[in-house]
Structure 1
């Protein structure tokens, strides 16, 4: 493999994709410069040419994972924002459980880890260049619409988003670790009811929630099993 081939612009995308594949197929221990480069038939120097080192490559992998995550959780608006939330939540869980190592890397839960701190937080909205901007903005958007529709009380949008995000993220991680019982139980017996209870506690009516959940199930039925 020549140095010129290693410097090809297409190598950068190939290295990111190879890293994603190795991460899911073998685990984070596979993310070494030589292993990643070998997977695409390049020399180790390709990693340093395009990224400067493994930390920078891992940051690029996390950025790509967030981009795909953002696309997965972005759902079209309907006249029922709570149903939209359930559909987006389903997509969130489906992405995380289908790509567990990728999800852990995104949130700094695997080793090797990226050295970059979280691009955004509930008190620091994302910039246009933030790697997690799409997923973060989608979460804030659907919460804001639920408030505007009068379905839940008008607490600060970021605080509501944080409560819902913490619930979903926590259940996903426990499900990944196998602590929530047989497959599917985490969502039908735990996350779904807990989300309903939280939204009722914030002012929604349970009958309206059941209707929204049913609408979401109808939308999901043609694409994937209803995990809620």
Structure 2
């Protein structure tokens, strides 16, 4: 396979996806700049030119996961019905996790010991989840949702979505378990439980 000499966004994305898969499938010990370059069909020079070092690469993986999640959530069409909109956002959350299952563990699990998100990057999670917070805030202000802290309601809905997705990705529940139905039903019940 010919090696690319163009250090553009397409190569950056390809390298991030390869690096995420290496981490998700083989653990932190499998990720090296040399192996990444070889697996992606490019040079180590390209990898270093784009990321500088392994720590920066891992930070970029973390950031990329939240960027992709945030983009999916912002693209979610809402209806103005608070419960339906929370469910729609939750379905987009699951879709994002399944589409980028190689990034999800980097975002939420300690797959790279000692990793700490870099300055500014640590706020990406909350930025990505802003559509959920906005939906919940509108629901509280309109009187549809209980008079409780927006953060409390939003986090409980996020916890439901995150927990179900984590079960699905790790194949924790028995084979044949209907994740689609359970996921949507669980989200709807959680959101409805906060209604007045």
**Is the pair's TM-score, using the shorter chain for normalization, greater than 0.5?**
yes
Greater length-normalized contact order (CA 8 Å, ≥ 6 residues apart): 2
Shift of 1:24: 3.3
**What is the aligned partner in structure 2 of residue 170 from structure 1?**
163
**What is the aligned partner in structure 2 of residue 23 from structure 1?**
20
**What is the aligned partner in structure 2 of residue 145 from structure 1?**
138
**What is the aligned partner in structure 2 of residue 156 from structure 1?**
149
Shift of 1:162: 1.1
Shift of 1:52: 2.7
Q: Which moved more, 1:75-84 or 1:149-158?
A: 75-84
**What is the aligned partner in structure 1 of residue 195 from structure 2?**
203
Where in structure 2 are there 5+ consecutive unaligned residues? none
**What is the aligned partner in structure 2 of residue 103 from structure 1?**
104
TM-score, structure 1 normalization: 0.68
Residue 153 of structure 2 contacts residue 194 of structure 2 at CA under 8 Å; is this kept in 1? no
Residue 100 of structure 1 contacts residue 176 of structure 1 at CA under 8 Å; is this kept in 2? yes
Residue 93 of structure 1 contacts residue 172 of structure 1 at CA under 8 Å; is this kept in 2? yes
**What is the aligned partner in structure 2 of residue 222 from structure 1?**
none
**What is the aligned partner in structure 1 of residue 93 from structure 2?**
92
Shift of 1:16: 4.2
Shift of 1:9: 4.8
Shift of 1:48: 3.2
- Mapped to 2, the partners of 1:84 and 1:197 lie a distance apart of 13
Shift of 1:170: 1.0
TM-score, structure 2 normalization: 0.78
How well do the aligned residues superpose, as a CA RMSD in angstroms? 2.9
Q: Are residues 119 and 134 of structure 1, via their aligned partners in 2, closer, same or farther at CA, if it must alter by over 3 Å? A: same
- Mapped to 1, the partners of 2:125 and 2:54 lie a distance apart of 20
Q: Specify the SS of the correspondent of 1:116.
A: coil
Shift of 1:144: 1.0
**Is 1:194 aligned to 2:192, yes or no?**
no
**What is the aligned partner in structure 1 of residue 71 from structure 2?**
71
Q: Are residues 169 and 118 of structure 1, via their aligned partners in 2, closer, same or farther at CA, if it must alter by over 3 Å? A: farther
**Is 1:14 aligned to 2:11, yes or no?**
yes
- Mapped to 1, the partners of 2:161 and 2:119 lie a distance apart of 18
Shift of 1:73: 1.6
- Mapped to 2, the partners of 1:118 and 1:181 lie a distance apart of 40
Q: Which moved more, 1:132-141 or 1:63-72?
A: 132-141
Residue 66 of structure 2 contacts residue 124 of structure 2 at CA under 8 Å; is this kept in 1? yes
- Mapped to 2, the partners of 1:119 and 1:171 lie a distance apart of 28
